[in-house]
Chain A
Amino acid sequence: MNGKTKKRTSLPQLTKQLMAIDDRLAGCMHCGLCQAVCPVYGVTLKEADVSRGKIVLLENLAYELLKDADGVGEKLDRCLLCGSCRSNCPSGVDTVEIFLHARRLITDYRGLGKIKKTVFRFILPHPGLMSFFVAFSGRFQRFFRRKANKSMGTFEFPILRPFAGKRHFQPLATKSFSAEYGKINTSAGKSGIKVAFFPGCVPDKLFVRIAQASMKAFEKNGVGVFMPGSLVCCGIPNLVSGDYVSFKRLVKTNLGLLKKAEFDYLVSPCATCVSSIKENWFRYRDDFTDDERRQIEEIHGKAMDITAFLIDVLNVEFKTSGSETCKRRVTYHDSCHLKKTLGIYAQPRNILKNLSGLEFVEMPEADRCCGSGGSFTLTQHKLANQIGQRKRNCVVSINPDIVAAACPACMLQLMDMLSQNGDSVEVKHVVELYADSLGR
Chain B
Amino acid sequence: MNVNLVKEFMAIVGRELVFADEAERQAYSYDAAVLTPQVPALVVMPETHEQLGKTIKLAYENGLPITVRGAGSNLSGAVIPSSADTVVILTSRLNKIIEINEEDLYAVVEPGVITSVFAEAVSSRGLFYPPDPGSQTVSTLGGNVALNAGGLRGLKYGVTKDYLMGMEFFDYNGDLIKTGSRTVKCVTGYNLSGMMLGSEGTLGIFSQIILKLVPPPKASKALMAVYDDISDASETVAAIIAAHILPCTLEILDRKCLTYIEAHTRAGLPVEAAAILLIEVDGSHIQAVEEDACKVMELCKKCGSKDIRTAKDADEKNRLWEARRNALPALARARPTTVLEDATVPRSKVPAMVAAVNRIAQKYNLEIGTFGHAGDGNLHPTILCDRRNKEEFKRVEDAVDEIFDAALNLQGTLSGEHGIGMAKAKWMEKETNRATINFSKNLRLALDPKYLFNAGKKIL
Contact = CB atoms under 8 A, between A and B. Distances in A.
B21 A26 contact: no
Given A30-B32, A46-B27, 20 more contacts: A23-B336, A29-B332, A30-B31, A30-B34, A32-B138, A33-B138, A35-B71, A36-B116, A36-B138, A47-B27, A53-B27, A56-B27, A56-B29, A66-B23, A66-B26, A68-B22, A71-B22, A71-B24, A90-B328, A92-B329
Nearest to A47: B27
B26 A32 contact: no
Contact of B19 (A23, A36, A46, A92): A46
B388 A26 contact: yes
A196 B118 CA distance: 48
Contacts of B93: 45
Contacts of A57: 23, 26-27
A103 to B, nearest CB: 15
Interface in B320-353: 328-329, 332-333, 336-338
B200 to A, nearest CB: 17
A31 interface: yes
A36 B134 CA distance: 13
Contacts of B328: 90
A91 interface: yes
B150 to A, nearest CB: 17
Given A26-B336, A29-B338, A32-B138, A66 B72 contact: no
Interface string A174-202: 00000000000000000000000000000
A411 to B, nearest CB: 28
Nearest to B330: A90
Given A30-B30, A47-B72, A56-B30, A71 B23 contact: yes
In this complex, the member of A30, A35, A46, A74 whose beta carbon has the largest number of chain B beta carbons within 10 angstroms is A30
Contacts of B27: 46-48, 53, 56-57
Interface of B: 19, 21-24, 26-32, 34, 37, 45, 71-73, 90, 92-93, 95, 114, 116, 135, 137-138, 328-329, 332-333, 336-338, 386-388
Contact of B32 (A26, A31, A75): A31
Contact of A90 (B26, B114, B332, B337): B332
A60 B28 CA distance: 13
A68 B23 contact: yes
The 6 closest A-B CB pairs, nearest first, are A71-B23, A36-B137, A53-B27, A47-B27, A48-B27, A45-B92
A29 B138 contact: no
A363 interface: no
A393 B386 CA distance: 44
A71 B135 contact: no
Contacts of A90: 328-329, 332-333
Contacts of A66: 22-23, 26
B135 A33 contact: yes
A27 interface: yes
Interface string A25-54: 011011111011000000001111000010
A72 interface: yes
Contacts of B336: 23, 26-27, 29
B48 to A, nearest CB: 15
Contacts of B92: 45
A190 to B, nearest CB: 38
Contacts, number: 92
Contacts of B114: 36
A45 B337 contact: no
A326 interface: no
Contacts of B30: 30, 56
A65 interface: yes
Nearest to B72: A32
A340 to B, nearest CB: 16
B73 A26 contact: no
Interface in A217-232: none
Contacts of A71: 21-24
Given A36-B138, A56-B27, A45 B45 contact: yes
Interface residues of A, number: 30
Contact of A29 (B29, B37, B71, B337): B337
A327 to B, nearest CB: 27
A66 B27 CA distance: 11
Contacts of A68: 21-23
A45 B22 CA distance: 18
A24 B328 CA distance: 18
A31 B73 contact: yes
Contacts of A35: 71, 137-138
A92 B333 contact: yes
Interface in A63-90: 65-68, 71-72, 74-75, 90
B123 to A, nearest CB: 14
Given A48-B27, A57-B23, A90-B329, A26 B386 contact: yes
Contact of B338 (A33, A56, A91): A91
A378 B73 CA distance: 33
Contacts of B19: 46
Contacts of B26: 48, 56-57, 60, 65-66
B390 to A, nearest CB: 14
7 contacts: A33-B137, A36-B116, A47-B28, A48-B27, A68-B23, A91-B333, A92-B333
A312 B70 CA distance: 45
A27 B32 CA distance: 13
A27 B19 CA distance: 27
Contacts of A48: 23-24, 26-27
A53 B27 CA distance: 5
A357 to B, nearest CB: 31
Nearest to A70: B23
Contact of B329 (A36, A65, A91): A91
Contacts of B23: 48, 57, 66, 68, 71-72, 74-75
Contacts of B32: 29-32
Interface in A4-25: 22-23
Nearest to B332: A91
Interface string A286-309: 000000000000000000000000
B135 A32 contact: yes
Nearest to A90: B329
A33 B75 CA distance: 13
Contacts of A30: 30-32, 34
Contact of A31 (B22, B95, B135, B388): B135
A60 B23 CA distance: 9
A285 B73 CA distance: 38
Contacts of B137: 33, 35-36
Given A29-B337, A30-B30, A33-B137, A92 B332 contact: yes
Contacts of B29: 56
Contacts of B28: 47
A74 B21 CA distance: 12
In this complex, the member of B24, B26, B45, B114 whose beta carbon has the largest number of chain A beta carbons within 10 angstroms is B26
Interface in A289-347: none
In this complex, the member of A46, A65, A72 whose beta carbon has the largest number of chain B beta carbons within 10 angstroms is A46
A32 B71 contact: yes
B151 to A, nearest CB: 15
Contacts of B332: 29, 31, 90-92
A91 B260 CA distance: 13
B335 to A, nearest CB: 9
B135 A26 contact: no
A53 B69 CA distance: 15
A32 B73 contact: yes
